[in-house]
Structure 1
Amino acid sequence: MGFQKAKASFLIKKEAASFLAGNRYDLLEWAGAFGDLGTLIPFVLAYITILKMDPAGLLFAFGLAKIITGFFYKTPIPIQPMKAIGIGSVAQPGGFTPAAVWGAGFFTGLVWLFLGLTGIIDRVAALAKKPVVHGIVLGLGLTFMVEGIRSMATNYFLAAVALIVAFTLLGNRKFPVMFLLLALGIGTSLAANPVLIVDLKKSIGLSLPQFTLARFTWPELVRGSLLLALPQVPLTLGNAVIAIVAENNELFPARRITEGKIAISTGLMNLLAPFFGGVPMCHGAGGMAGHVRFGARTGGALVILGSLVIVVALFFNHGVNILFQLFPPAILGVILFFAGAELALTAKPDSASRQEFYVTLVTAGFAMWNMGVAFVVGLLLNEALARGWVRF
């Protein structure tokens, strides 16, 4: 009996050690941790200011998901807001409630958990040939670059300075350029509005996430599922399943992942997040590119960022808007631009034929508009060219 207990204790300790090992928490991981702020901050602010969602629950769910993901995958696989749901819910002020967003997240969780556990997602992903996958990744990268340029247009001078700094020091492994970008942004914000730091100090106080089950209603669940969650599915398939798997396995071949595993983790975090007041989340490929571009090489970056997000959720709940004002859109745009460039680079074909590269370019063009349409068009065009039905 004693032997069995000792063996069980050893196995538990071994599993715990395996769970904790493999990540780094050095200067580069800290720098890379902030590489995803370009998408996180705008969506969180929109949810808080337009839908009046509680920052404590929203950020706590994000932080917890990031920490678990960092420990589990041990590569910089990001946690991002689902973009179609985010844009759809805030584009019509008064049109959707927080409960509808939670309903969309819960429905999304059921969909992806089902697709992952049944193996359906693996069969769907297997249809995507390499030129199609490269096209989706390239389209995503170009989309991020365009969005970054739009954000930079809010302050041309600040963006120009940040770009020069980034291009000059991006390859510096001793002093990551991310810290200079953040310092530049924070310094600019405080120079323009010195009272920000005073207001931020006044807002500090403990706030705990509220359990939201009592606020779920069937009408809002159905409305969020049909109007918000369903349009998100093809975008998640391309960006947060197929593209992230291709990107991770290209950058970290020793820690390969599968579409099924990503679908299951997407399902689980979206089933749990709504009960804390969290919003729909996914593993967006652009986020990994941002983490990697600025130094991250392990899941430690996600653990770092997740921990910081939880601190903000618990102690800066009433000052989130003030805190995020320290990061000007122009600086976030520069971060987003380089994340997009990094993502687009991973789509570079090694020895693609003219025909394959044509499929990649067409798929990328459609991916900048609609991920689901890009996937279907890419598959059809690739098959048509292979069979000789289409010539160019």
Structure 2
Amino acid sequence: MDRAADAMDTADPEALAVPGGAKQAEPRGGLLLIARARDNLRFRSAWGELNGAMGDLGTYIPIVLSLALSRHLDLGTTLIFTGIYNAVTGLIYGVPMPVQPMKSIAAAALADPSFDIPEIMAAGIITAAFVLFLGLTRLMKLVYWFVPLPVVRGIQLAQGLNFAMAAVKYIRYDQDLAKSKSLGQRPWAGLDGLILAIAAVCFITLVNGAGKEPPRRAQQEAHQQQETSWRRRLASSVPSAGIVFLLGVAFAVARHPSAVRELRAGPSRMRVVHISREAWKQGFIKGAVPQIPLSVLNSVVAVCKLTRDLFPEREEASPTSVSVTMGAMNLVGCWFGAMPCCHGAGGLAGQYRFGGRSGGCVAALGGLKLALGLVLGGSMLRVLVQFPVGLLGALLLFAGVELAAAARDMSTRAEAFVMLVCTAVSLVGSSAALGFLCGMIAHGLLMLRAFTGEHLKSICT
């Protein structure tokens, strides 16, 4: 009965036959676009989609807050543009395609006081233009098919472990987000204490367990293990991530009650950012150069492969389309001071982990961001700066574990070897590009070894 109910929930009503056995006529033209948009935004499970929308906030909030505090990034403008990005990507792809800050550019800005808003925006525009070029010329599709799966899994594993380690750091230590530094040990008690963060981790684990298997693997293991109906109902009816986030907002207000009185109605005033020639130069050297490999590998190649793993029936998230949407959104928003953004495999894994299954998941998140940006603008910073960082660490931990878990499908020692070489170099060198290069070399050497071995064997026989 449970399986039948699940099937009825996930079935598309428009694909069913009309009464009398006659097949419903397929919509065409504008009606087809409307039907597709409606299907892409349709919630598969109301609580699940809303819960999944919180899945990548553990990455989004710390980076945006850090730049707003240290580099005076306009929070209101960033909320408005990223809200629009979320809604558009949900409408186009029909999966919880994330919108996350470009991490290498953010890292450069936090590490270098001279790397200010003009340099950040220049780096975002240059990166977006390069990725858009690869998408429009279809070269990104060639990159996607050229990169072997073990290398992609190595990048995903490294990124997932990075998220998980950052999450543990957020949980264990007090954080100075403005300087992106860890301070002393986090106190056990308090509204941002260690007990609160540990309780959040335990609560999410109790509700969601180890997470759901991707469709293909779930079919393979269906004969080995069946989840009981009460566990499925618990995971889909209790929005664990949403509860943790709302609890964090309540504690933020409790920690600084006067922040509510400091809120101001209305959006931030948007201005076109003036980018000097020197800002273009520094943005390219310090921001775009390290960001481009990460955007190509993690924000396009890895996110497309992960989408195929999690949603094998969806074909919208192609390397070409993901490149185009990522490039186009930054070529608009960055000119007005919105944080450069990309799609990311970690955000997708986090949103899937907490129940996101459709474009409605990220569209709902986009609507929330857009509303906050229009109604409260940059004054939201006064409240969010008090958000318990330990709770953000709890959300980020599960997103990192979910992304790293995608690497468990390596079936041979050779594949695992390439993946781990890529992961180790990426983690130690803090560079996805260096890890990619070493992974490709290891993969090529193993292929050469296998070829020469077979060739010698044929000569000897």
- Tell me whether the two structures share a fold, i.e. TM-score over 0.5: yes
AA of the residue aligned to 1:296: G
Q: Which residue of 2 aligns with 1:136?
A: 155
2:208 is the alignment partner of 1:170? yes
Larger Rg: 2
2:399 is the alignment partner of 1:380? no
Whole-Å Cα distance in 2 between the matches of residues 152 and 312 of structure 1?
A: 27
- Give the CA deviation at 1:209: 4.5
CA 1:10–1:77 in 2, change beyond 3 Å: closer, same or farther? Answer: closer
Q: Which residue of 2 aligns with 1:241?
A: 300
TM-score, normalised relative to structure 1 = 0.90
- Give the CA deviation at 1:349: 1.2
Higher helix share: 1
Whole-Å Cα distance in 2 between the matches of residues 201 and 72 of structure 1?
A: 39
Moved over 6 A (4+): none
- Give the CA deviation at 1:325: 3.5
2:314 is the alignment partner of 1:255? yes
Instruction: Report % sequence identity.
Output: 31
Whole-Å Cα distance in 2 between the matches of residues 326 and 173 of structure 1?
A: 30
Task: Please list the CA deviations of residues 144-198 of structure 1 after superposition, one character each: whole Å capped at 9, or x if unmatched.
Answer: 111111111134222211111111112521112113322443344444x2x43x4
- Give the CA deviation at 1:62: 1.0
Whole-Å Cα distance in 1 between the matches of residues 85 and 242 of structure 2?
A: 24
Whole-Å Cα distance in 1 between the matches of residues 127 and 261 of structure 2?
A: 37
Task: Indicate if the aligned counterparts of 1:237 and 1:372 stay in contact, CA closer than 8 A.
Answer: no
Q: Which residue of 1 aligns with 2:194?
A: 156
Pick aligned residue for 1:289 from 333, 346, 349: 349
Q: Which residue of 2 aligns with 1:73?
A: 93
- Give the CA deviation at 1:121: 1.9
AA of the residue aligned to 1:207: P
AA of the residue aligned to 1:130: L
Task: Please list the CA deviations of residues 240-259 of structure 1 after superposition, one character each: whole Å capped at 9, or x if unmatched.
Answer: 11211111110001113222
- Give the CA deviation at 1:120: 1.9
- Structure 1 window deviating more from structure 2 (153-162 vs 332-341): it is 153-162
Whole-Å Cα distance in 1 between the matches of residues 73 and 406 of structure 2?
A: 36
Whole-Å Cα distance in 1 between the matches of residues 423 and 298 of structure 2?
A: 12
Task: Indicate if the aligned counterparts of 2:50 and 2:239 stay in contact, CA closer than 8 A.
Answer: no
- Structure 1 window deviating more from structure 2 (17-26 vs 238-247): it is 17-26
**1:141 is paired with a residue of what secondary structure?**
helix
Whole-Å Cα distance in 1 between the matches of residues 313 and 172 of structure 2?
A: 40
Q: Which residue of 2 aligns with 1:110?
A: 129
2:40 is the alignment partner of 1:22? yes
Task: Indicate if the aligned counterparts of 2:253 and 2:383 stay in contact, CA closer than 8 A.
Answer: no
Structure 1 gap segments, 5+ residues each: 1-8
Q: CA RMSD in A?
A: 2.1
Whole-Å Cα distance in 2 between the matches of residues 209 and 262 of structure 1?
A: 30
Whole-Å Cα distance in 2 between the matches of residues 237 and 200 of structure 1?
A: 41
TM-score, normalised relative to structure 2 = 0.77
Task: Please list the CA deviations of residues 183-225 of structure 1 after superposition, one character each: whole Å capped at 9, or x if unmatched.
Answer: 443344444x2x43x4224413112451415x23333223212
Q: Which residue of 1 aligns with 2:103?
A: 83
AA of the residue aligned to 1:337: L
Q: Which residue of 2 aligns with 1:4?
A: none
Whole-Å Cα distance in 2 between the matches of residues 13 and 308 of structure 1?
A: 28
AA of the residue aligned to 2:70: I
Whole-Å Cα distance in 2 between the matches of residues 121 and 202 of structure 1?
A: 47
Task: Indicate if the aligned counterparts of 1:66 and 1:305 stay in contact, CA closer than 8 A.
Answer: yes
AA of the residue aligned to 2:329: M
Whole-Å Cα distance in 2 between the matches of residues 148 and 377 of structure 1?
A: 27
**2:267 is paired with a residue of what secondary structure?**
coil
2:113 is the alignment partner of 1:52? no
- Give the CA deviation at 1:13: 4.0
Task: Indicate if the aligned counterparts of 1:76 and 1:288 stay in contact, CA closer than 8 A.
Answer: yes
Whole-Å Cα distance in 2 between the matches of residues 108 and 138 of structure 1?
A: 24
Task: Indicate if the aligned counterparts of 2:253 and 2:260 stay in contact, CA closer than 8 A.
Answer: no
Pick aligned residue for 1:314 from 374, 377, 387: 374
AA of the residue aligned to 1:339: A
2:119 is the alignment partner of 1:100? yes
Task: Indicate if the aligned counterparts of 1:127 and 1:379 stay in contact, CA closer than 8 A.
Answer: no
Q: Which residue of 2 aligns with 1:145?
A: 164
